[in-house]
Structure 1
Amino acid sequence: MEGFEHLGFLIQIGDKGAEGVPLSQAAPFFANSDPDMPATPVPAVQVHDWILQNIASALEHSTERISTKENGPPSASDPDVAMTDACTNSIKSSPSARGSNFIEGISKSSLVKQASDLRGSSVKVLNCHDSVIYILAPLRYATVYGCSDATIFLGAVGKALRIEHCERVHVITAAKRVCIASCRECVFFLGVNQQPLIVGDNHKIQVAPYNTYYSELEEHMSEVGIEATINRWDEPLTLGMVDPHDSISHPAGVSDVQAESATRLDPDQFTNFLIPNWFGSESRGTTRDNPFLLPDVYLESQKKNQKNLGEIKQLLREAPIEENRKRELSCALHLLFKDWLYASGNIRQLYCLQGD
């Protein structure tokens, strides 16, 4: 334990300026132990994970403070919204006086925001469900919290993106840093310059390479300092252990285990995400393709799918049937596709986009 206490010269637990808490009392494996009795041996790996988790937590807290400082003091007329208190019923998309934009409570709808629609460089997407959200803008910080059954696209995030407590969500982003915390059955399509950080109690999350573009993407990436030549999407760094007091994810009698990390998306499940060109000739961007290099295995899968589609089209064109039967077949295919749109809920997205 004496050697462990020596780490206190480098790591301080507690508020800055306050009297430091001894590490042996702050750490869960030594807390309340009798100093006059020999310490119970603790695996070095467990100590290492605990230190890394505290460093990660401190970095996240520091990031929040920096974001607040850069965006200016809060306004009494527009107080910040705590994530846990975010309203889930109202539909709200508004900039705050201090430069943080809230997209909150979107349900069964689609939303598109350009840089000109935002004030400041921070976006928080809170409690949005069964929706598709497009943020086509350069950002410094972004947060996605408490969303489910949604697709969320965030243009270019130059400092940090945090995704927390989401379920069955697809997040697509180009970012400098990404932190994923306590998410379930989510897929993250990433163009990220640093290792994605995985913390908390995650289940069945997947990572995949970046899969889209819009006309101003490369300009926005350059503006916030994201390099297209570096993509560490497949190098997630997992910190922490599963909470032994969580009876749902950690049944009684099961010893502590390493927190669940992310797996790579099966290349056969990988598809490109198409961002509609709503603004036509008004867009002055020069990006015409995905700026991140696609790994060979995903590229080969795409080529195979395109080849299969081409072969099916050719078979239909060359099928030895009369023209009126071909028209009937074409109508049947269109009807099946329309049925799929309604069954999947995607028809609503098309109507919303047309309405915009």
Structure 2
Amino acid sequence: MAPRSHRIVVMSQVCNQTLAKSSETLVGAHVRAHRCNESFIYLLSPLRSMTIEKCRNSTFVLGPVETALHLHGCENLKVIAVCHRLSVSSTIGCTFHIMTPSRPLILSGNQTVTFAPFHTHYPMLEDHMARTGLATVPNYWDDPMVLGGEGTDTRVFQLLPPSEFYVFVTPFEMEGDTAEIPGGLPPAYQKALAHREQRIHNWQKTVKEARLTKEQRKQFQVLVENKFYEWLVSTGHRQQLDSLVPPPAASNQVAKKDLTWSHGALET
């Protein structure tokens, strides 16, 4: 087996699937994802580096990346990671929820890059951050540097408006002590979440005080569920929820440390 510092893991053509993995194979590895489409990929181990190339319409949730996270030739990705450095080139419509002690580098050929605060956690996250030497401060997620053909044109990127911000739930049970987002959220984003929660509370109070009859409550519940289902379908979240249900043959794997129940080509 190659030394851990030299180990390379390649994922190619993972399509229309959910891949979830936390294993020694990934610890300290250089990982490359190539031509992955319409997928949700969770690599919940401390990584040495991560390269994502020519991937589309997918979500990547990564363990801490000790050195560099680089994207090239990607379209419509959501990437959630703690990393030492992020660089992007030739991407279109990608969103980065990151925590990083270095200014993100926007190289040439990018369009509509969005940056947002890191917004998830999993039980081993802080342990993995310690292993990779990454901390919550400093954090330059919102101060990218535009290089390459765009020069100093800041129009190539935007910061996610707080009104569009939601936390991301990593939907797996693991051992570990991390129970909240390390370092918390920037005040504007925390305020937006609190405001949304207050609106939900007010709505629930209004429904309770409406004194609906049993039949009216039943009709109202059906209406809400139908609207929620329509929202799931229109936003693509229905696909994500469906993909989290493991096939029967893999049900025993979910409780193990290796979380994979569906994967494409995975090579070491």
Does the Cα contact within 8 Å between 2:26 and 2:47 map onto a contact in 1?
A: no
Q: Deviations over 1:59-84 (max 9, x none)?
A: xxxxxxxxx99744xxxxxxxxxxxx
Rounded to whole Å, the distance in 2 between the matches of 1:180 and 1:127 is 16
Rounded to whole Å, the distance in 2 between the matches of 1:321 and 1:135 is 47
**Cα distance change of structure 1 residues 299 and 119 upon mapping to structure 2, 3 Å threshold:** closer
Does the Cα contact within 8 Å between 2:79 and 2:97 map onto a contact in 1?
A: yes
TM superposition score normalised by structure 2: 0.85
Structure 2 residue aligned with 1:168: 76
State the structure with bigger RCO (CA 8 A, min sep 6), 1 or 2.
2
Rounded to whole Å, the distance in 2 between the matches of 1:257 and 1:227 is 29
Residues 1-356 of structure 1 aligned to structure 2 (within 5 Å): 71-72=5-6, 99-116=7-24, 118=26, 121-242=29-150, 258=153, 261-277=156-172, 279=173, 283-355=174-246, 356=261
Any unmatched runs of 5+ in structure 1? 1-67, 73-98, 243-255
**Number of residue equivalences:** 246
Rounded to whole Å, the distance in 2 between the matches of 1:116 and 1:347 is 31
Deviation at 1:259, TM superposition (A): 7.7
Does the Cα contact within 8 Å between 2:27 and 2:45 map onto a contact in 1?
A: no
Does the Cα contact within 8 Å between 1:201 and 1:259 map onto a contact in 2?
A: no
Q: CA RMSD in A?
A: 2.1
Does the Cα contact within 8 Å between 1:122 and 1:140 map onto a contact in 2?
A: yes
Q: Letter of the aligned partner of 2:63 in structure 1?
A: G
Report sequence identity in percent. 28
Does the Cα contact within 8 Å between 1:202 and 1:260 map onto a contact in 2?
A: no
Rounded to whole Å, the distance in 2 between the matches of 1:107 and 1:219 is 31
Does the Cα contact within 8 Å between 2:28 and 2:46 map onto a contact in 1?
A: no
Does the Cα contact within 8 Å between 1:138 and 1:155 map onto a contact in 2?
A: yes
Does the Cα contact within 8 Å between 1:200 and 1:259 map onto a contact in 2?
A: no
Moved over 3 A (4+): 68-72, 116-120, 256-261, 342-345
Deviation at 1:103, TM superposition (A): 1.9
Deviation at 1:119, TM superposition (A): 6.5
| Greater strand share, structure number | 2
Any unmatched runs of 5+ in structure 2? 247-260, 262-268
Q: Deviations over 1:63-120 (max 9, x none)?
A: xxxxx99744xxxxxxxxxxxxxxxxxxxxxxxxxx2112221222211011245375
- Structure with the greater alpha carbon radius of gyration: 1
SS at structure 2 position matched to 1:115 = coil
186-195 vs 259-268, which moves further: 259-268
Structure 2 residue aligned with 1:23: none
